[in-house]
């Protein structure tokens, strides 16, 4: 067994060559801390965060183009959480594993001062087809599998909802919360990208689109020119941005635990890549291109500027504190 991608590479997962027809891909994510604000406020249930635990770990597997084969979960909980509450968390974990065709294969349970969840996902991929953050070249097209910022917008909106007298349409509020309750992991998209050498670089957007692009810059040693009018913006994100008094593009690119894939493709392969996505009932948007240099900028309204928004910083535990604050 040989570790071919380790922590020094700063990719989504570690990769092992196990001398078999497949490569082993392993990633771990801790998702439950004292500032999981929507759960603290009662908008998310214990079932929801159990489901989210699995999704967060499987998203790292998806970003590497791997197929998940198992999830290990760690569930630590306080005495205030009774047996029924514990079973609810485990039911969410089980359902997410079922939805994504994998298994909860074990882990650890025990006591803690509050509910804390962590997990490890295991996947397999074809040798030499694992997707990495490095590899983008000048001229490659920058793509994303869908709109970003929905989960960050929810965290910006709901904690301030009552104090500011905000009341979006119930369907819009439900859409904001559904991104947390039933996040969609882009496993199918990652598998298509690794089926042929389509993606020269790939990463999930769990830190937000701005942070993801900046991490691709560092890993690949290229810059990016993002076309602002091509970045897909969910209508719910635009509505929250209006309430906050910020630019919709800035909120869409800010810290947000989305599970889209951002990836780069050689322009010569973009047509065949899109055809293969279409055949699988999948889609993506081309939002820019890689350029020579080490800066990422956005082009919009005839001007060029740094990427808008606030990137995720791991020393900050509350995503809402990272979204630009403004009065409605």
Domains of the chain, each with CATH number or no CATH: 2-125 (3.30.1330.10), 141-322 (3.90.650.10)
Whole-prediction pTM? 0.92
pLDDT at res. 127: 84
Handedness of CA 132, 137, 138, 143 (dihedral sign): negative
The yes-or-no verdict on residue 276 having pLDDT over 70 is yes
Average pLDDT, the chain: 90
Residue among 146, 129, 228 at smallest CA distance from 185: 146
pLDDT at res. 239: 97
The yes-or-no verdict on residue 299 having pLDDT over 90 is yes
Looking at per-residue pLDDT, the higher value among 143 and 115 belongs to 143
Average pLDDT of the segment spanning 145-172: 94
pLDDT at res. 77: 87
pLDDT, tens only, 57-93: 999 999 999 999 999 999 988 888 888 989 999 999 9
Question: What is the torsion angle, in degrees rounded to the nearest 10, for the CA atoms of residue 299, residue 300, residue 304 and residue 307?
Answer: -70
Tell me the pLDDT band of 200, cut-offs 50, 70 and 90. Answer: very high
* Spatial CB neighbours of 210, under 8 Å, sequence gap ≥ 6: 253, 254, 255, 307, 308, 309, 310, 311
Residue among 222, 289, 22 at smallest CA distance from 130: 22
Sheet order of strands, 67-77 included: 2-5, 14-17, 23-30, 116-125, 67-77, 104-111
């Amino acid at each position: 067994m040989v570790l071919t991608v380790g922590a020094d590479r700063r990719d989504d997962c570690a990769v092992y060559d196990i001398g078999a027809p497949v490569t082993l891909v392993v990633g771990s994510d801790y998702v439950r801390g004292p500032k999981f604000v929507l759960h603290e406020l009662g908008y998310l249930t214990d079932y929801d965060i159990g489901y989210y635990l699995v999704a967060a770990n499987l998203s790292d597997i998806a970003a590497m183009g791997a197929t998940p084969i198992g999830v290990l979960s760690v569930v630590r909980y306080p005495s205030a959480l009774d047996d029924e509450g514990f079973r609810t968390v485990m039911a969410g974990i089980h359902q997410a594993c079922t939805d994504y065709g994998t298994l909860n294969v074990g882990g650890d349970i025990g006591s803690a001062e509050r509910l804390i969840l962590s997990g490890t996902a295991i996947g397999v991929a074809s040798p030499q087809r694992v997707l990495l953050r490095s590899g983008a070249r000048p001229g490659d097209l920058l793509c994303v599998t869908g709109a970003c910022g929905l989960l960050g917008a929810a965290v910006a909106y709901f904690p301030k909802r009552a104090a500011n007298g905000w009341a979006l349409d119930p369907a819009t509020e439900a859409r904001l919360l559904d991104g947390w309750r039933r996040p969609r992991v882009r496993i199918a998209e990652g598998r298509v990208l690794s089926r042929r050498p389509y993606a020269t670089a790939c990463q999930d957007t769990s830190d937000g689109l701005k942070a993801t692009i900046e991490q691709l810059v560092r890993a690949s040693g290229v810059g990016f020119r993002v076309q602002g009018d091509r970045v897909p913006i969910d209508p719910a994100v635009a509505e929250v941005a209006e309430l906050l008094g910020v630019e919709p593009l800035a909120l869409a690119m800010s810290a947000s635990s989305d599970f889209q894939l951002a990836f780069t493709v050689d322009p010569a392969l973009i047509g065949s890549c899109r055809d293969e996505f279409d055949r699988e009932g999948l889609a993506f948007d081309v939002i820019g291109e890689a350029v020579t240099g080490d800066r990422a900028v956005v082009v919009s309204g005839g001007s060029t500027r740094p990427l808008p928004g606030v990137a995720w910083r791991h020393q900050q535990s509350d995503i809402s504190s990272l979204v630009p604050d403004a009065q409605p």
